[in-house]
């Protein structure tokens, strides 16, 4: 049965509502009332975001919300979030099992409980004792304001929030939660979608930041409906290799900051520790001046990151030559090898090629193309560059080198790390000011891969 709308009269001057029309408003204005139809909506409707009747406002007159950042006590997490948590924001964090999602969240919860106030950690996967054991190991002394709740029913969680009134809420994980209004099992598309809506209403109406842990599929993508990613304000991805203790936190969506920042952590017995100088971590065990090894760099967020690319070529025994890449997109590698064979005359059809980014880094930038080409060329020709060199630049299909963003900051960091020369696209080199060009790091401009290979051979 359709719901019946009620009639109200609203003053156009002050917004005053009355069930009956009257000539003069309480504000003193005459004949300013306009009839409006209002449909009653129950307050317990979980699909609604606002608890009161929705009214339009002039955007110019809307006061700026208090978006003062909340310090999580973890500098690398603050960096990825854009400076810290925002009141009323929803943050979704995903990653493979055992990568450290629960560890970083319990560390942040412990820090916020000491500075912000009441923090509620809801665990649907572990018992309260299991969470306590992890907290004792990675958090040290626990605050009296940190509460743990082992529950999967969202209605019970909302009731607890009504009584506890937390300043920070953690849901671990959304796939284990369910609502009693639906008959489907926890983790289903309908359950995850409804839980996401209720958590959004809870965070926005009470102005509390909410951290949501999510599972991933075997392909590394977020499990569940895509609508959850659209609902939340920030989507974080936690990645890392099992054989390395390095963990990378990256933002794929952030309504309150940039998505180009990454956070670096080291997994220790005492939990996750932030890595301030990521380049030195990648290069501390790097093999210097060996064939098939080239140092390259990318600019991530607000800092340049240097790492080593290793390449190994070997004659193919039989059949098709192998192309294996770790940390580099395999299709991108095939394109780079085709350019190297076509434009530089290097025969690759009978060569197995293996490329590896040392340290578990997975760069998204194409500025590592030149480093891959020189590493492969160094391996197949047996050349070693005696000088501490860096190679950056995107390689086009015609063999030209395209400019690199923030090249001046990469050069400045290279000088700080003590590198002697850097091979880079001519367009990027021309943009650099004289103070950088006259530094200790010699800049070698290259228009295409011929120039880059010649510069590499002349120094070998």
For residue 396, how far is the Cα from the chain centroid? 28
Q: Which long-range contacts (CB under 8 A, 24 or more apart) does 247-253 make?
A: 247/99, 247/100, 247/272, 248/360, 248/361, 248/362, 249/76, 249/77, 249/80, 249/104, 250/80, 251/80, 251/81, 253/229
What's the 3-state SS for 189-239?
HHHHHHHHHHHHHHHHHHCCCEEEEECECCCCCECCCCHHHHHCCEEEEEE
Distance CA 190, CA 167 (A): 28
Sheet with 17-18, strands from edge to edge, namely 17-18, 5-11, 33-39
Note down pLDDT in tens along the chain; length 460 residues.
455 667 888 887 777 788 887 888 888 888 888 887 766 656 566 556 555 556 777 777 776 555 678 999 999 999 999 889 999 999 999 988 888 888 999 999 999 999 999 999 999 989 999 999 999 999 888 999 999 999 999 999 999 999 999 999 999 989 999 998 888 888 888 888 889 999 998 998 899 999 999 988 777 677 777 888 888 999 999 887 767 788 889 898 999 888 878 888 988 888 888 888 777 777 765 455 788 999 999 988 778 889 999 999 999 887 788 999 998 999 999 999 999 999 888 888 889 999 999 877 888 889 999 999 999 999 999 988 777 889 999 999 999 999 998 888 899 888 888 888 999 999 999 888 654 544 678 899 999 999 999 988 876 5
pTM across the whole model: 0.76
> CA nearest 124: which of 90, 165, 170, 93?
170
C-alpha distances in Å from residue 324, one per residue of 62, 91, 253, 362 = 55, 35, 30, 14
Kind plus residue range of the DSSP H or E element containing 304:
strand 303-315
């Amino acid at each position: 049965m359709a719901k019946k709308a009620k009639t109200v009269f609203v003053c156009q001057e002050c917004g005053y509502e009355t069930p009956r029309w009257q000539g003069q408003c309480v504000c003193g204005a005459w004949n300013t009332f306009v009839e409006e139809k209002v449909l009653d909506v129950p307050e317990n409707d979980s699909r609604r975001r606002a608890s009161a009747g929705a009214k339009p406002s002039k955007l110019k007159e809307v006061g700026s919300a208090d978006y003062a950042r909340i310090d999580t006590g973890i500098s690398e997490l603050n960096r990825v979030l854009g400076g810290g948590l925002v009141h009323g924001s929803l943050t979704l964090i995903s990653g493979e099992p055992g990568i450290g999602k629960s560890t970083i969240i319990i560390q942040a919860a412990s820090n916020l409980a000491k500075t912000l106030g009441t923090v509620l950690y809801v665990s649907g996967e572990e018992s309260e004792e299991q969470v306590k054991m992890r907290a004792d190991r990675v958090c040290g002394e626990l605050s009296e304001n940190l509460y743990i709740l082992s529950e999967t029913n969202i209605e019970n969680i909302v009731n607890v929030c009504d009584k506890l009134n937390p300043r920070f809420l953690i849901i671990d994980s959304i796939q284990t939660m369910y609502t009693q209004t639906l008959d489907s099992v926890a983790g289903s598309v309908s359950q995850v979608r409804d839980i996401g809506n209720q958590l959004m209403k809870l965070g926005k109406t009470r102005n509390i930041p909410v951290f949501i842990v999510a599972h991933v599929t075997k392909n590394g993508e977020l499990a569940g409906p895509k609508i959850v990613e659209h609902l939340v304000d920030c989507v974080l991805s936690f990645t890392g290799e099992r054989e390395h203790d390095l963990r990378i936190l990256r933002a794929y969506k952030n309504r309150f900051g940039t998505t180009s920042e990454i956070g670096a952590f080291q997994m220790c017995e005492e939990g996750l520790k932030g890595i301030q100088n990521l380049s030195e971590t990648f290069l501390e065990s790097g093999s210097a001046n060996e064939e098939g090894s080239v140092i390259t760099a990318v600019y991530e967020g607000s800092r340049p990151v240097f790492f080593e690319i290793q390449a190994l070529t070997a004659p193919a025994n039989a059949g098709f030559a192998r192309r294996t890449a770790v940390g580099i997109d395999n299709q991108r590698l095939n394109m780079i090898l085709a350019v190297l064979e076509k434009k530089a005359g290097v025969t690759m059809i009978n060569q197995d090629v293996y490329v590896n980014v040392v340290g578990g880094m997975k760069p998204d930038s194409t500025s590592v193309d030149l480093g891959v080409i020189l590493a492969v060329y160094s391996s197949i020709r047996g050349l070693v560059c005696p000088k501490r060199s860096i190679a950056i630049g995107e390689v086009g299909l015609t063999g030209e080198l395209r400019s690199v963003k923030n090249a001046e900051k990469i050069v400045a960091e290279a000088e700080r790390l003590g590198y002697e020369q850097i091979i880079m696209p001519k367009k990027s080199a021309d943009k650099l000011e004289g103070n950088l060009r006259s530094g200790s790091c010699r800049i070698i401009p290259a228009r295409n891969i011929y120039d880059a290979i010649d510069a590499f051979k002349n120094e070998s």
